[in-house]
Structure 1
């Protein structure tokens, strides 16, 4: 089986983790701050907070931005559920903005229209989570301009996008958002096994997220409500969580980060080769906005079903049966049973629903070789009856 994504673990990665295992610290040692500094420096952000998952990063990002009961967060329906669930964790509501049919990201025109109606109705969002699907950044300049007019905060869910660029600058630098979130899950571009990171240029937001990721506890006398009883003393000054990253994960991340640029470059080579090999088939290949340099976490095709010999499901099943581990990213969040129970229904976001009826994620990872890619394309030709 050729999977849709997979990690590469080198001997250097293994050696880095073993070094930590032989050290004095398995958690809360020097490696996590070193990893944070390395990522922040690479993307050009002032602060980076490593956590145990991107979901945790989204949660503390929302809390740091003051999201709570009575507030609403907007995001795209074509994303993993965590991009919306983070609102519910805070007692707020989640809502959605339909996608751009070319980029599959949150559509800035749909956002502008929805904001206009929300302003008239007094239902403006507190936060907009812009998800960089497949690694391609959203139109962040447009979203940022709208945030200045309507007063909402911006989280970039860049779980797919580390190593990518927007307008020539690395995603994560915070030029157009308050907080950016990365994921280091094994199928992502670089991995820490599990793990995530929140990046910001705001000192106050960084301090708040650092507190929230570790039980709301501080040992800083300047943050305490009264004088310390002794050198052992700490205070819980907020209700936080245990969202910390381990030293082992950070060591792996530091080692992987050294290969980030080459990983993304290889993904671009594979994407260009897919584009060429798939030309003329009854499908659409990913369109890339000229302002973006995608991290290319995913390579998603859309079947032109009226020209295919088989249905979407049948093509998917035929690919799986031939040893190609395709996937579908994602099922529209508003169609999940949990969200249907909140009042969402079919037809709410037609572009997202049309995308779901046609999309298939082909294998895309840096160690995919040309022979394997040829095998994928050959199987796809047979699966669609071309």
Structure 2
């Protein structure tokens, strides 16, 4: 059996033919394909504006620069890829880590408790973790009640609609719902934010090539956009397949020591399928399970180690926050393979292998 990764891209014949067509065209970068791809993204997201960028981290970086001022304090989650919190630091603002809920996402009730007491909080950078869409009405309440900015890090939820938040970002890394190789996007309904992010993406220049700010070269190419255009047509079929896999996993793990992060829900687009295992009750460690699963040619992953306890963040004085839910979650979590071309036989092999390793 070939190695089964925790996730991977799906590249098909139509993707390749469209890709080759663009390679033969006159424009390989900053051409019409970029505009077409951006239009598809903002229409799917129910947003007015979209700026495509070179990767998801660039999307976060530019969004943070557009939303934040130096010294702002920003509520965010310890349960994400490091880029989410890093983008706050890029803007010379201060991350404030908030504990998570049982589903792995930031605890919005706890965010409100903090906002009631701390008027220095200027924004929330929230993550739709693993593909489960955040509570939009709750975000609207927090935004309007406390006059803060809201960024939704939707790197795990391509297809999520923009409603009340100031900005939503997406990632098109190969393990995500669709891919452009590397790539990302920012969507917003605020024209001023759109213009600023578009300007910062292109060296700080406006449409007349006047440099207005110190910007970056974060443009997405026509080549990447062509792949994105081909992939985005298949987004909902990819989501359907991921949700079907999640349903099968939920059923297969019933009455076992393996617990899904949350029961199947249509509000999750299942970028990840995360399980929790109470290793304190077993004679095997999580590291040993990961090693033995890889010996069986199955890639499992940890999403995530707490950001606030990463060595760099500890050097900044973080790490002692009271985040008991995150601390327990990080000891128990494993992401198992979930991607559209994962066959039913492979899914069953993953289930059988994990239970065999745990019960050995």
* Residue 306 (structure 2) aligns with: 332
* Residue 228 (structure 1) aligns with: none
TM-score (norm 1): 0.90
Query: Quick one: distance in 1 between partners of 2:321 and 2:201?
Result: 38
CA radius of gyration, larger in: 1
* Residue 57 (structure 2) aligns with: 55
| 1:119-160 deviation digits (Å, cap 9, x = unpaired) | 3xxx32x22111011110122311220121211100100001
Determine helix, strand or coil for the equivalent of 1:325.
coil
- Contact 2:4–2:337 at 8 Å: present in 1 too? yes
Give the paired residue count: 358
- Structure 1 segment 343-354 matched on structure 2, within 5 A: 343-346=317-320, 348-354=322-328
- Structure 1 segment 260-299 matched on structure 2, within 5 A: 260-288=235-263, 293-299=267-273
Where has structure 1 moved over 3 Å in runs of 4 or more? 306-309
Deviation at 1:313, TM superposition (A): 2.3
Query: Quick one: distance in 2 between partners of 1:68 and 1:79?
Result: 23
Question: Within the alignment, does 1:128 sit opposite 2:127 as a pair?
Answer: no
- Contact 2:8–2:174 at 8 Å: present in 1 too? yes
- Contact 1:309–1:385 at 8 Å: present in 2 too? no
Q: Which moved more, 1:83-92 or 1:277-286?
A: 277-286
Select which of 169, 193, 197 maps to 1:181: 169
Query: Quick one: distance in 2 between partners of 1:174 and 1:375?
Result: 38
Residue segments in structure 2 that go unaligned for 5+ positions in a row: none
Q: Which moved more, 1:9-18 or 1:359-368?
A: 9-18
Query: Quick one: distance in 2 between partners of 1:318 and 1:185?
Result: 27
TM-score (norm 2): 0.96
Query: Quick one: distance in 2 between partners of 1:127 and 1:363?
Result: 34
- Structure 1 segment 214-229 matched on structure 2, within 5 A: 214-220=202-208
- Contact 1:53–1:184 at 8 Å: present in 2 too? yes
Query: Quick one: distance in 2 between partners of 1:208 and 1:70?
Result: 20
Residue segments in structure 1 that go unaligned for 5+ positions in a row: 164-170, 221-233
Question: Within the alignment, does 1:24 sit opposite 2:12 as a pair?
Answer: no
Determine helix, strand or coil for the equivalent of 1:319.
helix
Query: Quick one: distance in 2 between partners of 1:347 and 1:201?
Result: 34
- Structure 1 segment 1-386 matched on structure 2, within 5 A: 1-65=3-67, 67-101=68-102, 103-119=103-119, 123-124=120-121, 126-163=122-159, 171=160, 173-220=161-208, 234-288=209-263, 293-346=267-320, 348-385=322-359
